Structures are given as structure tokens and as C-alpha cells.
Structure 1
Amino acid sequence: MTGHERASAMLAVSTVIFALRKDEETSGAPQVWLPLVRRIREPFEGRWALPGGPLRVGEDLAYAAARTLNDTTGLTPSYLEQLYAFGDATRSPGADRVVSIVYWALVRGEEAERASVGENVRWFPADELPPLAFDHNLIVEYALWRLRTKMEYSRIAHAFLGERFTLAQLREVHEAVLGRALDPANFRRTIEGSGAVVATDEYLTGTRHRPPRLYRYNDSIDLADAGPLPRQQHPFEREQS
């Protein structure tokens, strides 16, 4: 191939879905988990991989990511953000070059429980993955780095919580994602001083001790900062509107 020939490539989408789950065997603190799909054809037949597939003609990227995710796991997360494009020339064995546009999604625990699991779909701890197909280990590693980085300055933890939550529940999310314990007093000062959360007049009921106050996120702060780009409507919302 000369330097003037045009390279051709197949365009695909993949999605990294993160949820906080407890290990059923250890019943320890929540960890970051993600669902993987077992490949049923070559290349890498039998190996676990991220949900995804080729882009169809006339299909928007975000819609393709949501569609392949729903087809394989049954999940329809409300938070879906483009992560990165992976297009190394050697990432896919064979003659065809594959460029993957990767999205990431965050789902709450109760949503994760509704995922379609079975012989070919299974949840794995994000920090304890087997060798995956293609370069998907690298993709997950990058997505985890992005998640942990955004946790420091954005309201992304909201995607793991309900509309109302205690500061202890919020701290538990940060500890699970960052993988380390946080001092409760320092965490409270930092969060309250950031203006990201607003105290409500509601309290968590059913506790043994003094009911903790419930908080909500400041609605003026977006979950994801898209800069000057318009906020995209969720692909499945467009079908219903």
C-alpha cells in the first residue's frame, strides 16, 4: 500500500457500564462492577468482551451504543457519555481494521439487578477482570481512570444514587469508586463547601440512631459537562417523544 492509498475501516460502538455492587460471597463494601458479554464467534470466540457491535447505516453513534447495550444486557441507562475512540491498526486480528467509538454508562444498583445475565452475560469486578477480547482491558482501565478523575470535581456520583441521599451514602459511593476510605468529617466539609449538594428538610427513617439528613444535588450543576455542545437527548427518549 502506498502513502497515497486511503485506509478503510469498519466503525463499531462499545459501552462500558459501571454499577456499584456488593460481592455476594464476601458481603463487603460496594465495589465497581461491569457486565461483560461472551463472544460466540471469532475472533476471540469464548472470551469476554464489552457489549457492542457494528454501526448500522444511518444510525447515530449514541443510539447505536444504547441499542447494542439494550440488546445484550437489557439495560437502558439514563447516563450515557462518549468516552474515547480506539482505532489502533492492530487492535482487531484479520484484514479489516475496526475503529470503536466507546461510550460509558453508569447505573444504580436496582437498575443493575434488572440486567439480563446468563451463560453469555455476567457481571465482573472492574479491578479483577480476566483477559478480554481485543483491547477491551485497556478500554476498561481508561474508563475507570476517567470515572475516578471525574468523581473528584463533578456530580457524577449522582448517577449511582437516588434523588435523595445521606452524606454517608454519598461517601460510600466515593470510597467504592476511588478504592480507599475517606475521613467522614473531612468529606462532609468538602462536599458541603463545594455547593454541589443541597440539604433538604427530610431525614432518613428506619435507622437505629438519630435519623441523618437527606441531601439532593444542586440542579444548576450538570451531571456531565458537554462544554458548548448541546445536551443530547437520550436515544430511547427520542423514540417516545
Structure 2
Amino acid sequence: MAPGDAHPSVAVTVDLVVLTVRSEQLQALTVQRGEAPYAGRWALPGGFLQPDEDLPDAAARELHEETGLSSDRFHLEQLASYGAPDRDPRMRTVTVAYIALAADLPVPTAGTDAADARWQPVSELLEGDRELAFDHAAILADGVERARSKLEYTPLAAAFCPSEFTVSELRHVYEVVWGTVLDPRNFHRKVTRTEGFLEPTGDTTTREGGRPARLYRVGTVAQLHPPLLR
């Protein structure tokens, strides 16, 4: 393009990889598109950046519109940007994706431009026969891998737990997100000996059945040392 020529028009959107643990599975929030392009196909929630918005504000707004919850209920962080020239058949569009993680999320309600909204198992979305709209399968895969990786070296797993949780509830999160079975005693030893990871509340619970189990809350450490490797 020669100097002085107008820059090409590029739209900016935000897309959300919203993950939670439901029905013993890692699940993602999806919306069924109600209009073209890809009408009827499942997609990640998201939308266009409004003229007066910064990117985090747009992500928080879309999150609230799709779940009815404010962003303070979530762990919300920027994932990556995607700008392939043909990713949106309507126009040249660059999207900034965010990942949002939380526990006990409600059944979603479809927004005004969606035909349906529901939680779906990540395994079915990535490995099944449901082809997501746009490049959302790649964005979802990146978001899931980000979550799995961050469980190794940060206390992010607690974002999938209630505010007070047992070690076995925390272990269950790791098992669901990583898709593996962990040795209970080894896991208990690692997480309780990792400085700053867990803080005892002084209370116990019998909600898992059997003997009372100690309740913990997440500590203040930002990085786990040593990490909990898959």
C-alpha cells in the first residue's frame, strides 16, 4: 500500500474460552449461532469490541452477557490473538481471546443473537464430530492447554473449587482437567507441603462421606515450587 493510502478496515472482536468442571468433566461454554455466517453451528461466546471499550472491559461484558455473572467470579486472563485473513468470511477480523475459569457456574442463557447456549464436554468439542464455527476449535484447544499447563506451576486449580475445599476435591480438579488418575497420598503430600499453596481453615466437612476432611483455602503464592507436573 502506497504512503498516504487509507488503511484497510479491520474489525476487532473478543472470544471467550469459559471452562468449568461439571458432571465429572471439563466443560466449555458454547453458543449456537442464530445468524450467518455459520448459522446453527456451535461457537465460543464473544462479540465485537465497542468503540468506547478496552479489551478487558469487552471480555468482562461478554462474560456477563453469556453467564449473568460478573467477572469477579472468574479467573480471567488474556489467552492470545488470532488474525488469519480468512478467519471470518464477513470481513477482516482480528480476535483477542480470553480464558475464564470458575466453579459451580450456572446453566447459561442464550444472548439475543444466539439460538442456544450450553455447556459441552471439551473432549466432545475437540475430538468429536462437532465442527465449531470460525477458528474456534483452535482457540478452544489453546485455552484448554493453557489451563492444563498453568495447573502445573500456579494455584489455578483452586479457581475450579469452592472458596473452601478439601484436598480430594482439589485432586479431582487436577484429574478432570489433566484427564488422568493421581495417587491420593502422593498428591496430598505434594500440595500440603508446597509452601503458600494451601491455607488450613481450621474447619472440617463430611460432604464427601466418611471421616471428616480438613478444609483449605488457596494461599497467596503465585508460583508453585516445586511444580506439580503432569
TM bracket, shorter-chain basis = 0.7 to 0.9
C-alpha displacement of 1:65: 1.1
Query: What are the Cα deviations for residues 76-102 of structure 1, in whole angstroms up to 9, with x where unaligned?
Result: 3422111111111121114x2100011
Which one-letter code corresponds to 2:202 in the other structure? Answer: D
Match of 2:106 in 1: 113
Aligned sequence identity (%): 38
8 Å contact from structure 2 (residues 18, 99) kept in 1: yes
8 Å contact from structure 2 (residues 12, 49) kept in 1: yes
The secondary structure found in structure 1 opposite 2:96 is strand
Unpaired segments ≥5 residues, structure 1:
23-29, 224-241
The secondary structure found in structure 2 opposite 1:84 is strand
The more displaced of 127-136 and 74-83 is: 74-83
8 Å contact from structure 2 (residues 108, 119) kept in 1: no
1:181 aligns with 2:171: no
Inter-partner Cα distance in structure 2 for 1:158 and 1:140:
21
**Pairing of 1:6-25 with structure 2 (within 5 A):** 6-22=7-23
Match of 1:31 in 2: 25
Q: Go from structure 1 to structure 2 and tell me whether the alpha carbon gap of 1:146 and 1:3 turns closer, same or farther (over 3 Å shift).
A: farther
Which residue of 43, 57, 62 maps to 1:49? 43
C-alpha displacement of 1:69: 2.4
TM-score, length of structure 1 as denominator length: 0.81
Inter-partner Cα distance in structure 2 for 1:121 and 1:207:
31
8 Å contact from structure 1 (residues 73, 121) kept in 2: no
**Pairing of 1:28-177 with structure 2 (within 5 A):** 30-77=24-71, 78=73, 79-94=75-90, 96-109=91-104, 112-116=105-109, 119-129=115-125, 130-177=130-177
Which one-letter code corresponds to 1:165 in the other structure? Answer: F
Which one-letter code corresponds to 1:198 in the other structure? Answer: E
User: What is the CA RMSD across the aligned residues, in angstroms?
Assistant: 2.0
8 Å contact from structure 1 (residues 32, 126) kept in 2: yes
The secondary structure found in structure 2 opposite 1:121 is strand
Which one-letter code corresponds to 1:58 in the other structure? Answer: D
Which one-letter code corresponds to 1:80 in the other structure? Answer: L
TM-score, length of structure 2 as denominator length: 0.84
Q: Go from structure 1 to structure 2 and tell me whether the alpha carbon gap of 1:207 and 1:179 turns closer, same or farther (over 3 Å shift).
A: closer
Query: What are the Cα deviations for residues 101-134 of structure 1, in whole angstroms up to 9, with x where unaligned?
Result: 111111212xx22532695111110111110110
8 Å contact from structure 1 (residues 85, 99) kept in 2: yes
C-alpha displacement of 1:37: 1.0
The secondary structure found in structure 2 opposite 1:99 is strand
Q: Go from structure 1 to structure 2 and tell me whether the alpha carbon gap of 1:198 and 1:71 turns closer, same or farther (over 3 Å shift).
A: closer
Match of 2:210 in 1: 209
Inter-partner Cα distance in structure 2 for 1:108 and 1:102:
20
Inter-partner Cα distance in structure 2 for 1:114 and 1:50:
15
The secondary structure found in structure 2 opposite 1:16 is strand
C-alpha displacement of 1:163: 2.0
Inter-partner Cα distance in structure 2 for 1:121 and 1:192:
38
C-alpha displacement of 1:165: 1.0
Unpaired segments ≥5 residues, structure 2:
224-230
